[in-house]
Homo-oligomer: A and B are copies of this chain.
Amino acid sequence: MDIQQLRYFVGVAEAGSISRAAVRLGVSQPTVSQQIQRIEEHLGVLLFDRLGRGVSLTESGDALLPRARDILERMRGIESELLAEVGAGRGRLSIGAIPTMAPYMLPGAIAGLRRAYPECELDIREDLTERLIERVADGTLDIGVMSTPVDHPLIEMRVVARERLVVVASSKSPLCDAGVISLADLRTEAAVTLHEMHCLGRQISEFCSSRRVAGIVSCRMTQIGTLLEFVRMGLGVSIVPELVSRRDGSKGRRYLPFNRGGPSREIAVATRKGRSIGRLASAFIDGLRSHLKAELG
């Protein structure tokens, strides 16, 4: 049984006549006759009594009518509701971010998303780059927020911003007097760095070694928060992303920019290659980009 046939059936029931229904439906009378016959044959019951002057529903036809109307109604509703629903951003978006970005970027980006699509469901996950890449590749995550470079055949990367790295030191440190840091300043400082399980940790150590800045590394932390505590206690200086400073209300630390050619990292969004970007995902990326633009200039 076919949608078209149901349409004809309802048409005939409402018109009370096959030929009148045919006119309304914009087809020829035999067409309607034949399709009605086909439904009747398919169901094995007569749906209309042919009365010479039009037709009238039989008991079975009467039972079918509301169901047919219902289905047609739903079919009609599909398109508009579908677009409305997608447009309203109902639906789920799963986002992953690396630990050195999540706390500093997601809240701002998500605030923008929620403003545009209040009804969306979000699923947030924090994990290391490699794990995030796997999840995006296998479809578990829609979006991964991380740093470049990432090389995976199934992953497409979109760079949304660049974030400078800055030096953080105890307020009592003599480095603070300079106001601006040059690479040479760091050679003599004790340093507290992030563990290399984090891509940020690797980026910093690569940067330092490439510039021949082999500071005295005393500790490898797994969280930026811990790192900051060590710095405050004067156990060394460190290098952290610029956004960390925006969030730090403590008086015990000072953040010092590099003078020029200082290190930075790219903030990028990873998606599954070939997969279309939904409106939610798209809105999130936009929100992230504009949030970072506002914060980082």
Q: List A residues at the B interface (Cβ < 8 Å).
A: 1-4, 43, 45-46, 49-52, 56, 58-60, 62-64, 67-68, 70-71, 74-75, 77-79, 81-83, 85-86, 90-91, 139, 272, 274-276, 278-280
B contact residues around A2 at 8 Å (CB):
2-4
Residue of B nearest to A49 (CB): B275
Question: How near does chain B come to A239, taking the closest CB pair, in angstroms?
Answer: 39
Say whether A46 contacts B90, CB under 8 Å: no
B contact residues around A278 at 8 Å (CB):
58-59
Copies of this chain, count: 2
A141 and B276 alpha carbons, distance in the complex (Å): 60
Known pairs A1-B79, A43-B83, A67-B74 / 9 extra A-B pairs, C-beta < 8 Å: A2-B2, A45-B83, A59-B276, A59-B280, A60-B82, A63-B86, A64-B78, A64-B82, A67-B81
A275 and B62 alpha carbons, distance in the complex (Å): 13
Say whether B86 contacts A49, CB under 8 Å: no
Say whether A275 contacts B56, CB under 8 Å: yes
Q: Which of B63, B86, B272 contacts A59 (CB 8 A)?
A: B86
Say whether A50 contacts B274, CB under 8 Å: yes
Say whether B274 contacts A52, CB under 8 Å: yes
Residue of B nearest to A280 (CB): B59
Question: How near does chain B come to A18, taking the closest CB pair, in angstroms?
Answer: 15
Residue of B nearest to A72 (CB): B71
Question: How near does chain B come to A272, taking the closest CB pair, in angstroms?
Answer: 7
Residue of B nearest to A71 (CB): B74
Question: How near does chain B come to A291, taking the closest CB pair, in angstroms?
Answer: 22
Q: Which of B62, B67, B90 contacts A91 (CB 8 A)?
A: B62
Say whether A43 contacts B74, CB under 8 Å: no
A49 and B154 alpha carbons, distance in the complex (Å): 13
B contact residues around A280 at 8 Å (CB):
59
B contact residues around A86 at 8 Å (CB):
45, 59-60, 63
Q: Which of B1, B67, B272 contacts A51 (CB 8 A)?
A: B272
Question: How near does chain B come to A242, taking the closest CB pair, in angstroms?
Answer: 34
Q: Which of B43, B51, B139 contacts A56 (CB 8 A)?
A: B139
Q: Which of B51, B74, B85 contacts A74 (CB 8 A)?
A: B74
B contact residues around A68 at 8 Å (CB):
78
Say whether A82 contacts B63, CB under 8 Å: yes
Residue of B nearest to A50 (CB): B274
**Contacts A60-B86, A67-B81; A274 near B45 (Cβ below 8 A):** no
Question: How near does chain B come to A3, taking the closest CB pair, in angstroms?
Answer: 6
B contact residues around A52 at 8 Å (CB):
274
Question: How near does chain B come to A224, taking the closest CB pair, in angstroms?
Answer: 34
Question: How near does chain B come to A214, taking the closest CB pair, in angstroms?
Answer: 46
A86 and B64 alpha carbons, distance in the complex (Å): 10
Residue of B nearest to A70 (CB): B74
